[in-house]
């Protein structure tokens, strides 16, 4: 009788996942037809490969759309990354769809896109080294932003999207990337929602190369910001505890040319870092709704 060790079994699963990814028929654009009330649909979104500047990588992206032709304002929701080498989820198994969050925005008149950055899920391309590899959090933000901006650029060209009204939402590492989008002043983006954004947390209370390097990177990112933003961090965030989160916000605001609101969310579950992905939108909905109202978005439908 064949007996497999845990490590052997894990290796088999990873190989199978890689084979499945390699066999996918990726073509730019939508796959099949929209499903259910939220019109959820898989898209392959082409973005420029950063190493060559010309070749296109196709990113796995879930798109949600209100009924009708639009054009609708667009929200993109951008994921984090696991704690590398410390028991985190393998990036190739990541397929967060942020369904509850997407539905919340959809009900308020937005089309929503949830892309997987290169190397994550079934997206093409190599994964960039984690910020802990060299402690360059500023560069990490801009690299994450490159894929996020590519998705925005492509979807702004679709007939159902209002190219002038895009809000970028980022969670964890995706929140850091969202600040990179603001630094780049990406065309069409009018606001940033940062949920528990940051990088370098390899265990609770510990930041690679020390928290001051992360705070300094946030300060540098803020120097070119001209977009209104809202930041939301939970009281029991095990990645970026409240004093660090406020220090990052203070550093960012020092150079920002636009307002940055900070919301202290209540504790959620065992780790408030997962509020966006696992919590009920009622936890953060009122604050985000108020922020969106301030952006004066055509097509935004406030809903209690």
Q: Could you report the per-residue pLDDT of 228-256, keeping only the tens digit for each?
A: 999 999 999 999 999 999 999 999 999 99
Residue 18 lies in a domain: no
Mean pLDDT value of segment 61-88: 86
**Model confidence pLDDT, tens digit, residues 97-112:** 899 999 999 999 999 9
Residue 301 lies in a domain: no
Residue 89 lies in a domain: yes
Q: What is the pTM of this model?
A: 0.90
Containing structural domain, residue 146: 27-294
Contact by Cβ (8 Å): 119, 127: yes
Least Cα distance to 86 among 195, 224, 238 occurs for: 238
Query: What pLDDT does 53 receive?
Result: 59
What CATH number corresponds to the domain at position 158?
A: 3.40.50.1820
Residue 214 backbone class (left: φ over 0; alpha: ψ -120 to 50; beta: rest): alpha
Residue 3 lies in a domain: no
| Residue-averaged pLDDT of the chain | 89
Mean pLDDT value of segment 51-80: 90
Residues 6+ apart with CB under 8 A from 289: 108, 302, 303
Residue 97 lies in a domain: yes
Residue 5 lies in a domain: no
Residue 21 lies in a domain: no
Number of domains in the chain: 1
């Amino acid at each position: 009788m064949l007996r497999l060790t845990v490590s052997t079994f894990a290796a088999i699963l990873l190989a199978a996942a890689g084979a499945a990814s390699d066999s996918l028929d990726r073509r730019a654009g939508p796959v099949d037809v929209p499903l259910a009330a939220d019109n959820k649909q898989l898209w392959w979104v082409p973005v420029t490969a950063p190493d060559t500047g010309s070749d296109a990588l196709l990113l796995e992206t879930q798109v949600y759309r209100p009924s009708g032709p639009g054009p609708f304002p667009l929200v993109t929701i951008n994921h984090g990354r696991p704690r590398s080498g410390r028991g985190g989820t393998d990036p190739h198994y990541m397929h967060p769809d942020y369904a509850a969050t997407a539905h919340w925005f959809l009900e308020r008149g937005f089309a929503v896109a949830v892309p997987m950055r290169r190397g994550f899920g079934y997206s093409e391309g190599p994964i960039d080294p984690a910020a802990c590899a060299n402690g360059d959090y500023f560069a990490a933000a801009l690299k994450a932003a490159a894929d996020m901006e590519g998705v925005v650029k492509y979807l702004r060209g679709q007939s159902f999207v209002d190219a002038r009204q895009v809000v970028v939402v980022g969670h964890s590492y995706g929140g850091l990337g969202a600040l990179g989008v603001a630094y780049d002043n990406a065309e069409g983006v009018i606001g940033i929602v940062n949920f528990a954004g940051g990088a370098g947390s390899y265990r609770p209370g510990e930041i690679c190369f020390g928290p001051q390097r992360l705070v300094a990177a946030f300060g540098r990112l803020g120097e070119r910001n001209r977009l209104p933003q809202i930041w939301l961090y939970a009281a029991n965030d095990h990645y970026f505890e409240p004093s660090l989160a406020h220090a990052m916000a203070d550093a960012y605001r020092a150079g920002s040319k636009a307002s940055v609101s900070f919301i202290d969310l209540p504790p959620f579950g065992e780790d408030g870092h997962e509020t966006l992905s696992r919590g009920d939108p009622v936890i953060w909905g009122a604050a985000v709704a108020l922020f969106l109202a301030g952006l004066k978005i055509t097509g935004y439908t406030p809903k209690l």
